[in-house]
Chain A
Amino acid sequence: MTYALLITAFVISTCGLVYELIAGTVASYLLGDSVTQFSTVIGVYLFSMGIGSFLSKYVGRNVILTFIQVELLVGAVGGCSAALLFLLFEHVGSFRILLYGIVGIIGILIGLEVPLLMRILKDRLEFKDLVSQVFTFDYVGALIASLLFPLVLVPYLGLIRAAFLFGLLNVLVALWTIHLLRSEVPWLKSLRSLAVVLAACLIGGFVFSEKLMAFAESSAFPDNVVFSTSTPYQRIVITGNSKDMRLFLNGNLQFSSRDEYRYHEALVHPALASLKEPQNVLVLGGGDGMAVREVLKYPSVRSVTLVDLDSEMTTLFKDQALLSRLNDHALSNPRVSVVNADAFSWIRQCRRQFDLVIADFPDPSTFSLGKLYSDRFYTALKHVLKPHGLVVVQSTSPYYAKNSFWCVVNTLNSAGFLTTPYHAYVPSFGDWGFVIASLSPFAPADRYPGGLRYVTADTVRQMLTFPTDMLPTVTAVNKLNNQALVHLFESEWGEYAETR
């Protein structure tokens, strides 16, 4: 009996530490900065244990009953902790209050348990043996937990399942304690049924954890999520507030409202201002309407055609007041027509010709996106371009991915274009690259529309020069059957992500 109870001390401490590690890991996943997360979680946990120990003196008569109740409660709270943290992450105002709340509750409960257990055992052991044995089991349990967690639990079960499993362990210990001390426990039957129900719930959680996990979708965004939706093509998440709004597509930052003007001015004006009386502009990608907003600053432009795959994206930036304010309601402008179609197939069936084609696709991070940067795609663009028209291509960062950037330049050249590469500094992206492609030599403009905040004749001149660290070390042409750009892009950004 005594050893049986000591083993419960062992299980309790293992479970306690596992919950703490789970909370720390979840917080690191979701909030980043693992040092801070683990320090604060451990601090709050230990401090709460202190509170629990302190509170234990207020437990008067029913020590055994309280002990069992606490065990059941630890099982319930601890078992569900990981699932709760993941599930509620996107829905609570302050995630930290939830995190430290859960850690605190578990800490207090674990803190209560050891003193209570010592009091249950006080008549069965001598004081020196009692202290020695309870703490021995306690600390051994901690070691087991700290080894189990990284080596077995995280790799094989995952956090949510591990939590459910240990919650179940807690409840089983409670059941066992009920059984051991059945002669001394009041409300035996209801405690047992409660424990069985809890166990069933935790088993359910364990079994269905995959579905919970999918539901929780643990993408971590640094700011408040204002809006999120999944379209057939991508996951759209908008974070922030009126000062800084950010758009993420599939977790990749597309713009920050603080500095997107730099990106979009640099994308549109060097090419468009150089054209004499441009009339028809085609924007490929760029469903946020920001590039269209810049195009509309030219009175000579009669029509802007925006071709974006995702109708939800264009509808959002047309109809949502918060978002359409960002593009000056460009998508509702009568000069603008929005087409939701595949860029390539649309171009192939297009019978019109444009003064300017803006290719504002996401970075070539996947093979399907890489095709929109292929020589075949650029060759097809020629058919929708007026003889003196221009193409401008957003072409990733010539600093972080210089070979990728120059690969776009080479590919445009191989498709028979003259190219003018340039780059601009966009704080939230870094140094960013663009390429103007033309069939006759390009000369930058002297005059730009009024009201621009970044592009001037002087800044454009600077944009055209490339320092040595942005020059390529390999040259390749991106073709459908080699996808050279995606391979380069992957290796270059991968390298950068590793060194960070």
Chain B
Amino acid sequence: MQRRVSRATLLKGLAGLAVGALSGKLYFDWQRSASQVSCRMLGPSMSRGHALRDGKASKMPDAPTENTAIVIVGGGIAGLSAGWWLKKRGFSDFVLLELEQQVGGNSSAGKNRFSAYPWGAHYVPVANKESEYVLALFEELGVIEGYDAAGNPIYNDLYLCHEPQERLFKDGSFQEGLVPHRGLQPEEKEELDRFFTLIQKLRSATGSDGRPAFAIPIELSSKDEDLIALDRISMAQWLNQNGFRTEPLLWYVNYCCRDDYGSAIEDVSAWAGIHYFAGRRGVAANAEQNSVVTWPEGNGFLVDKLKQQLDGHIKSGALVTAIAARDRRYITTYVESSTGRCLAAKSACVIFSAPRFLATHIVDGYEMTGHHELVYAPWLVANISLNRIPDARGAPLSWDNVDFRSRSLGYVVATHQTISARQGPTVITYYYPLSGENPAAARKRLLSTSADEWSKTIVDDLKRMHPGIAEEILSIDLWPWGHGMIRPSVGFIWGDTRRRMKADYGNVFFAHSDMSGISNFEEAQYQGVEAAKRALAALGAA
């Protein structure tokens, strides 16, 4: 009897118990997380968009045609800004057609019971002197409240990003700011210093034509051949040519390129890469250089304000299927998603502010050689509702929180700008550019991966910064951006394709940040306003 339980059996039993206890805990945790977290895949109306590509969308109007002077196609920042400018000029004979139920495009936003949050673009840097349209809009919306004696704008400090702005998780804890500065080798530090000195020089540089080397919008930049030449090599090559080789610096520059262009330093031109740093020359009377304005809903704030001004002009849920010239007028055919009816609008001009790659599908007779060169970076954006953001080691919770080792760009906190001692639930927006892989393959992966799989990837990624975050998550909403951002590839910004893209087609005026090669608010707004100006000029001439 006594021999029945041998030592080996016993040890096995113990090991079994240990395994049992551990797997029990894991199962318990998994159950907990699985039962509480709802994961949803939201996103732009891809099937309807793709119907266009596949030629399945109806092009025959089955209702009488309405008349207007200008039809704006696409309600992203470019289209809204075009409308804003028309209104500003006292012109109101226009209609704006938007595919989605809400205008906003890349600056769309959402809202739940905890906070509003962005689905894409979420800040604008304080404006450069030459960014006239941005300054004008900011004054109008009270983002700029006045000017000091030196002529520097005073920004509404509710909108200026509050302290602390950024932190970087590296070597097991957070440091303040995104530029790695802790525990560097002397040569790493020297390279960072040298880089920022060089950027400082480029920031104030002007070309032989007297224009700033890097301006916002880019169209106002110098066309000096020496500077343009930077567009013909990649950012990675430029860094290498200038002897920048240490990891912290390369990480930082690569991070910035992925942040602004959704693409790694190998894939963007040096001109674009440098523009990110040297282009920002904005000043504010009450903030440091490089400050940004931001809102809980990101640039959705600006969308909302523009939308209010265009009240009565916007038709959402309208899928434009064709734009055709008839008797010196344009017929814009669109499908109304609420009724399924196919309608048409007749106008003297069209401002085409939908993504530029759609133009050949929609505008009758329009051909653009090289439109296959347009490369779009796919993105995944997740809005995650949490009971609270777990404490982490090092620098305190900031607006932008980044992990040095992650392939994501980290997360921003939607409630960062609220003035409250409340420490209740919040929403964080997590950005994941699918850079470093072929865009088409990445787009496929983006869309074929299930919401649950993406959520797991995201939570595993966040866990490195915040062990225990999984237990705090209430819901995860995902938004795949198949064509998230135009990529400023080598040679794109100052090359032939973009030059051809800028050319209008009769009285179809193109307006989209795609035509700048850089996807941000300032460029989209500039393209929108410029197209509105050209349209007004054409109408004046007619």
Listed in ascending order, the chain A residues whose CB lies under 8 Å from chain B are 172, 175, 179, 182, 188-189, 192, 196, 199-200, 203-204, 207-208, 232-234, 309, 342-345, 361-362, 366-372, 374-377, 479-483, 486
Contacts and interface: CB of A to CB of B under 8 A. Distances in A.
A182 B2 contact: yes
A309 B420 contact: yes
A234 B423 CA distance: 8
A203 B420 CA distance: 43
A309 B421 contact: yes
The B interface is mostly helix, strand or loop, or mixed, namely loop
B1 interface: yes
Given A175-B10, A196-B13, A367-B396, A361 B421 contact: yes
Contacts of B162: 367, 371, 480-481, 483
Contacts of A345: 419-420
B421 A207 contact: no
B199 interface: no
Interface in B397-424: 397, 418-424
B7 A179 contact: yes
A372 B160 CA distance: 16
A79 B286 CA distance: 59
A232 B423 contact: yes
Given A367-B164, A480-B160, A192 B420 contact: no
A368 B420 contact: yes
B423 A376 contact: no
Nearest to B11: A175
Given A479-B157, A480-B158, A232 B25 contact: no
Contacts of B422: 232-233, 309, 342, 368
Nearest to A348: B419
Contact of B163 (A343, A361, A377, A481): A481
B158 to A, nearest CB: 6
Contacts of B4: 189
A371 B417 CA distance: 10
Interface string B136-166: 0000000000000000000001101111100
Contacts of B10: 175, 179, 192, 196
Contact of B421 (A362, A481, A483): A362
Given A196-B10, A196-B13, A233-B424, A377 B164 contact: no
B5 interface: yes
Contacts of B423: 232-234, 368
B22 interface: yes
A309 B420 CA distance: 9
A20 B17 CA distance: 28
A481 B160 contact: yes
B458 interface: no
Contact of B18 (A179, A203, A234): A203
19 contacts: A196-B13, A196-B14, A200-B17, A207-B22, A233-B423, A233-B424, A309-B421, A342-B421, A343-B420, A362-B421, A367-B162, A370-B163, A372-B421, A375-B157, A479-B157, A480-B163, A480-B419, A481-B291, A483-B164
B286 A479 contact: yes
A207 B21 contact: yes
B420 A344 contact: yes
Contact of B157 (A175, A344, A376): A376
B341 to A, nearest CB: 43
B419 A344 contact: yes
A371 B164 CA distance: 12
A233 B291 CA distance: 30
B414 to A, nearest CB: 14
B287 interface: yes
Contacts of A369: 421
A452 B529 CA distance: 68
Contacts of B163: 367, 370, 480-483, 486
B7 A200 contact: no
B539 to A, nearest CB: 43
Contact of A480 (B157, B396, B424): B157
A203 B21 contact: yes
A60 to B, nearest CB: 24
Contacts of B418: 342
A365 to B, nearest CB: 11
A208 to B, nearest CB: 7
Given A342-B418, A342-B419, A343-B420, 11 more contacts: A175-B10, A199-B14, A199-B17, A200-B17, A207-B25, A233-B422, A342-B420, A367-B163, A367-B164, A368-B421, A481-B161
A372 B419 contact: yes
Among B13, B396, B420, which residue has the most Cβ atoms of chain A within 10 A? B420
Contacts of B396: 366-367
A432 B164 CA distance: 28
Among B7, B25, B162, B286, which residue has the most Cβ atoms of chain A within 10 A? B162
Contacts of B420: 309, 342-345, 368, 371
Nearest to A377: B419
B515 to A, nearest CB: 33
B11 to A, nearest CB: 9
A179 B5 CA distance: 10
A486 to B, nearest CB: 8
B287 A481 contact: yes
Nearest to B3: A182
Contacts of B421: 233, 309, 342, 361-362, 366, 368-369, 372
Contacts of B14: 172, 196, 199-200
A479 B13 CA distance: 63
A200 B20 CA distance: 10
Contacts of B1: 189
B288 to A, nearest CB: 8
A309 B17 CA distance: 48
Interface string B510-526: 00000000000000000
Nearest to A211: B25
A362 B13 CA distance: 55
B157 A200 contact: no
B474 to A, nearest CB: 14
Interface string B1-43: 1101101001001100110011001000000000000000000
A207 B10 CA distance: 20
B21 A204 contact: yes
A367 B418 CA distance: 11
Nearest to B158: A376
B389 to A, nearest CB: 12
Nearest to A484: B163
Contacts of B160: 480-481
A371 B419 CA distance: 6
Contacts of B164: 367, 483
- Which 8 residue pairs spanning A and B have beta carbons closest together? A483-B163, A344-B419, A342-B420, A371-B419, A481-B160, A200-B17, A480-B162, A188-B2
Nearest to A214: B468
Contacts of A234: 423
A110 to B, nearest CB: 24
Contacts of A192: 5, 10
Contacts of B21: 200, 203-204, 207
Nearest to A477: B286
Among B157, B163, B422, which residue has the most Cβ atoms of chain A within 10 A? B163
A179 B7 CA distance: 7
A372 B420 CA distance: 7
Contacts of B5: 189, 192
